[in-house]
């Protein structure tokens, strides 16, 4: 199943990248091995020189990992994919592969906390500076460009405020600047949004989230043109932020149900968001699938639906927000998302707790803000669990 062009996405999610072994197993095999053996010395030499593209060592190639890479590239509509140990390993690998000292990144404020810290605190030590701009302000992206700008990095919808970045517009600004546009497609997955179709050059994933979908393993991926993934591969081969074949296998099996999970979790999120809007204890609901979202129309142009993360601001700041969390009996109190189990988190004191208060304010993360990543339970049960702490 490697000639995948004409197949529907739900078929690709189940069939792309299968390489059966001599045993003819039906389900994808798990090749849990660190290295591979050669028939003879000449083959070993050819493998190491690259003349023979067979496997050598699982730091840089493994058949189970290859299945994941082929499948995800097909789903995103990209030329190639490199899987990594985590989402952050993917973002680091992309930066190391495409940037050098003296280069400049333009990134949105509305980024995952660790992405922001990686850019602001780690890459800066190696002479790569980042200018963070208001997530939805196209003029600010344009104004942030410098002669040495090489990479634009955005998330849409953003975490946790679900701000929408106009993909086509930012792609045009990046390309005018001679830079690549990379999009963290964690929240939508290729089921709901395919950034490459809107002009993005590269998609990165935390496969830890919806691609696995059941909160079991860490993983990440970079999808894009071979010119980029080949550079990423060189970094992976030498630096080793590689995914375990076991984790890759779990994610491969997760992809098979991605479409039905994303559609069902997104429908649950919309139902929950509508109910939250009616609660007097809540001052604001952030969900791209609601007509009240300031960028609802743009979201519906880029995304098939609003996705599964709903954030909302309760009246009464941190105390009221923590009360909602502490009154839950079913919803999992955890920073993770992208699980069949609904999760709740207070971004200001958890996922976004380490950034400066000024940066937090600029990103719009208030003390009353809560983020719910809606799972596959009955929406009525999720509602009842939240209603207790909201006094509704």
Ligand X SMILES: *Cc1c(COP(=O)(O)O)cnc(C)c1O
Q: Which residues bind ligand X (CB under 6 A)?
A: 86-88, 112, 114-115, 155, 159, 184, 186, 206, 208-209, 218, 220
Nearest distance from C-beta of residue 165 to ligand X, angstroms: 13
Nearest distance from C-beta of residue 46 to ligand X, angstroms: 35
Nearer to ligand X, 221 or 386 (CB): 221
Residue whose C-alpha is closest to residue 308's, from 350, 274, 268, 346: 268
Nearer to ligand X, 85 or 382 (CB): 85
Nearer to ligand X, 56 or 365 (CB): 365
Nearest distance from C-beta of residue 158 to ligand X, angstroms: 8
* Length in residues, the chain: 392
Round to whole Å and give the CA distance between 81 and 15: 16
Nearer to ligand X, 177 or 363 (CB): 363
Nearest distance from C-beta of residue 341 to ligand X, angstroms: 16
Nearer to ligand X, 281 or 310 (CB): 310
Q: Please compute, for residue 118, the number of CA atoms within 13 A of its CA located in the half-sphere on the CB side.
A: 18
Nearest distance from C-beta of residue 208 to ligand X, angstroms: 4
Nearer to ligand X, 86 or 343 (CB): 86
Nearer to ligand X, 88 or 348 (CB): 88
Nearer to ligand X, 193 or 279 (CB): 193
Nearest distance from C-beta of residue 180 to ligand X, angstroms: 18
| Residues of the chain by 3-state class (helix, strand, coil), percent to 5 | 40, 15, 45
Cβ atoms of 181 and 171 within 8 Å: the answer is: yes
Q: b/e string for 232-253 if b means 16 or more Cβ within 10 A? A: bbebbeeeebbbbbebbbbbbb
Q: Which residues pair with 369 in a beta bridge?
A: 313
Nearest distance from C-beta of residue 308 to ligand X, angstroms: 12
Residue whose C-alpha is closest to residue 162's, from 294, 69, 265: 294
Nearest residue relative to ligand X (C-beta): 87
Nearer to ligand X, 85 or 145 (CB): 85
SS3 state of residue 283 = strand
Nearest distance from C-beta of residue 118 to ligand X, angstroms: 10
Tell me whether strands 180-184 and 202-206 are parallel, antiparallel or unpaired: parallel
Nearest distance from C-beta of residue 220 to ligand X, angstroms: 5
Sheet holding 149-155, edge to edge: 80-84, 220-224, 202-206, 180-184, 149-155, 104-108, 129-133
Name the strand (E) or helix (H) holding 303: none
| C-alpha angle 169-172-174 in degrees, rounded to nearest 5 | 110
Q: Please compute, for residue 214, the number of CA atoms within 13 A of its CA located in the half-sphere on the CB side.
A: 11
């Amino acid at each position: 199943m490697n000639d995948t062009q004409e197949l529907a996405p739900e078929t690709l999610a189940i069939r792309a990248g299968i390489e059966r072994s001599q045993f003819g197993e039906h389900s994808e095999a798990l090749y849990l091995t660190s290295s591979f053996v050669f028939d003879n010395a000449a083959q070993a030499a050819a493998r190491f020189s690259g003349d023979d593209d067979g496997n050598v060592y699982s730091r840089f190639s493994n058949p189970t990992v290859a299945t994941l890479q082929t499948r995800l590239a097909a789903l995103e509509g990209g030329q190639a994919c490199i899987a990594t140990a985590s989402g952050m390993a993917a973002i680091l690998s992309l930066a190391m592969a495409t940037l050098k000292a003296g280069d400049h990144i333009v990134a949105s404020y509305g980024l995952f906390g660790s992405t922001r810290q990686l850019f602001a605190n780690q890459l800066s030590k190696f002479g790569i500076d980042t200018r963070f701009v208001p997530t939805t302000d196209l003029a600010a992206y344009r104004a942030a460009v410098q002669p040495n700008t090489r990479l634009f990095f955005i998330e849409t919808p953003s975490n946790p405020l679900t701000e929408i970045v106009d993909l086509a517009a930012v792609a045009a600004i990046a390309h005018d600047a001679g830079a690549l546009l990379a999009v963290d497609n964690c929240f939508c997955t290729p089921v709901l949004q395919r950034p490459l179709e809107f002009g993005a050059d590269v998609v990165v994933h935390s496969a830890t989230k919806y691609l696995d979908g059941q909160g079991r393993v860490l993983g990440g991926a970079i999808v894009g043109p071979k010119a980029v993934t080949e550079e990423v591969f060189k970094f992976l081969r030498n630096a080793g932020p590689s995914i375990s074949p076991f984790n890759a296998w779990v994610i491969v099996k997760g992809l098979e149900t991605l479409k039905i999970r994303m559609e069902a979790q997104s429908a649950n999120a919309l139902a929950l968001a509508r109910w939250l809007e009616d609660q007097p204890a809540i001052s604001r609901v952030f969900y791209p699938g609601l007509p009240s979202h300031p960028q609802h129309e743009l979201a519906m142009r880029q995304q098939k639906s609003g996705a599964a993360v709903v954030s909302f601001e309760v009246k009464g700041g941190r105390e009221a927000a923590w009360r909602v969390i502490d009154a839950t009996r079913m919803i999992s109190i955890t920073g993770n998302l992208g699980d069949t189990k609904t999760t709740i988190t207070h971004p200001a004191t958890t996922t976004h707790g380490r950034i400066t208060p000024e940066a937090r304010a600029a990103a719009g993360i208030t003390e009353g803000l809560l983020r719910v990543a809606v799972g596959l339970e009955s929406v009525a049960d999720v509602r009842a669990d939240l209603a207790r702490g909201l006094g509704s």
